[in-house]
């Protein structure tokens, strides 16, 4: 019986998430959610009480799955070189699934609909940024890279990695787009600059 309850809640949250990422918060209704989940609208209210609770539970559920994957992807060891770490992180992100990209779309949609509401996107950004910053601070302390602003290089790497992944998501079927060249070229620019 407990498993059935969880299954129904997950179906409802999956439907909510799908509608959120397709249509945005303003157009997400409990009627649409019920229809997509194959449940009665009353079931939604019985399990979540109201739409706000359902949206919060859905975002929390998908965010936790995504941030766990992100943190694991950006974990590092003391022995990893900068090149190994950034390559591993880049290729690790290429292996993320479509569902992972959807949580980013929902977070960006949340900011578009209400520019004051940056909670979801900040919960995605902060764990990765902290991992990158910790890695670069460690490498600076060990004398493996020159004294630089660890926040600045973390921002540069974060931006490049995430934008590269978004571009890859758009062009992955294009035979002229090869992610390994993108990674090598991007890392070369990070290491050597443009002069």
Per-residue confidence in pLDDT tens, the chain, 195 aa: 334 556 899 999 999 989 988 888 889 999 999 999 999 999 999 999 999 999 889 888 888 888 888 889 999 999 999 989 988 888 888 777 777 767 777 766 666 666 555 566 677 788 888 999 999 999 999 999 999 999 999 988 888 877 776 676 666 666 676 656 566 777 787 777 777
pLDDT, residue 2, reads 39
Q: From CA 132, how far away is CA 191, in angstroms rounded?
A: 16
User: Do the Cβ atoms of 118 and 111 come closer than 8 Å?
Assistant: yes
Instruction: Please name the residue ranges forming H helices in 74-178.
Output: 82-94, 98-113, 119-141, 150-171
Nearest in space to 58 (alpha carbons), one of 7, 16, 107: 16
Residue 50: is it exposed, middle or buried by C-beta count within 10 angstroms (0-12/13-18/19+)? exposed
User: Would you tell me how many other CB atoms lie within 10 Å of the CB of residue 94?
Assistant: 17
Q: What is the pLDDT of residue 1?
A: 37
User: What is the token pair recorded at 180?
Assistant: 């390994």
Q: What is the pTM of this model?
A: 0.71
**Contacts of residue 73, Cβ cutoff 8 Å, sequence gap at least 6:** 89, 92, 93, 96
User: What count of residues does the chain have?
Assistant: 195
Is residue 21 within 8 Å of residue 55, measured between CB atoms?
Answer: no
């Amino acid at each position: 019986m407990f498993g059935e309850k969880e299954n129904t809640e997950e179906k409802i949250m999956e439907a909510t998430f799908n509608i959120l990422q397709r249509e945005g918060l303003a157009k997400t209704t409990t009627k649409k959610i019920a229809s997509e989940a194959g449940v009665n609208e009353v079931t939604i209210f019985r399990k979540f009480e109201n739409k706000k609770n359902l949206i919060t539970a859905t975002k929390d559920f998908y965010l936790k799955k995504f941030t766990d994957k992100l943190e694991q992807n950006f974990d590092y060891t003391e022995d990893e070189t900068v090149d190994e770490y950034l390559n591993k992180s880049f290729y690790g992100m290429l292996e993320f699934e479509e569902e992972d990209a959807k949580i980013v779309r929902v977070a960006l949609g949340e900011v578009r609909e209400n520019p004051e509401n940056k909670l979801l996107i900040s919960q995605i950004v902060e764990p990765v940024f902290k991992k990158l910053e910790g890695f670069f601070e460690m490498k600076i302390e060990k004398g493996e890279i020159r004294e630089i602003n660890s926040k600045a290089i973390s921002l540069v790497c974060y931006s490049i990695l995430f934008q590269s992944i978004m571009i890859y998501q758009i062009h992955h079927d294009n035979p002229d787009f090869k992610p390994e060249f993108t990674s090598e070229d991007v890392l070369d620019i990070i290491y050597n600059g443009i002069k």
